[in-house]
């Protein structure tokens, strides 16, 4: 498949169909929504992730792992959107996950020291996000 550097490609098959398929998965998940999210917001978030990863398989892995975690933890669409952005930055910088997570935690604690529990919760959520996948492959 051609590189996705051109966002116009996202409006054509197979990318458009792929994005819409994942967006429907998001809708069906019925995550709690403290703020209103629309189908177009889901399409935009997934499209941005696909543009960043340049890979449908990687996008699906990141999206489904994060969506499954959101459903398991009762998180909102806002949380999922934020975490997709986080995973996108992590992926595009090609950083070591453990180091990146530690640095993110340290930065968050420095910026909002009165929210230690929130920062640690977010760190732990990110730390274990892909753990079930890693365990399945190890067996």
Convert the pLDDT of each residue in 18-53 to its tens digit: 999 999 999 999 898 767 788 999 999 999 999 999
Q: What is the mean pLDDT of residues 124-138?
A: 72
**What is the reported pTM?**
0.85
* CB-based contacts of 89, cutoff 8 Å, min separation 6: none
70 vs 124: CA distance, rounded Å: 13
Q: Above 90 in pLDDT, residue 139?
A: no
Annotated domain spans of the chain: 1-94, 95-139
CA-based max dimension of the chain: 47
């Amino acid at each position: 498949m051609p590189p996705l550097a051109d966002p116009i490609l996202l409006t054509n098959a197979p990318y458009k169909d792929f994005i819409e398929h994942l967006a429907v998965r998001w809708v069906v998940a019925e995550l709690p929504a403290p703020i209103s999210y629309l189908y177009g917001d889901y399409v935009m978030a997934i499209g941005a992730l696909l543009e960043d990863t340049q890979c449908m398989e990687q996008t699906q892995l990141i999206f489904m792992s994060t969506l499954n975690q959101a459903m398991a933890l009762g998180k909102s669409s806002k949380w999922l959107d934020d975490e997709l952005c986080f995973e996108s930055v992590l992926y595009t910088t090609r950083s070591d996950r453990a180091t990146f997570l530690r640095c993110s935690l340290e930065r968050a604690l420095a910026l909002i020291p009165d929210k230690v529990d929130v920062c640690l919760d977010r760190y732990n959520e990110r730390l274990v996000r892909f753990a079930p996948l890693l365990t399945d492959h190890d067996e």
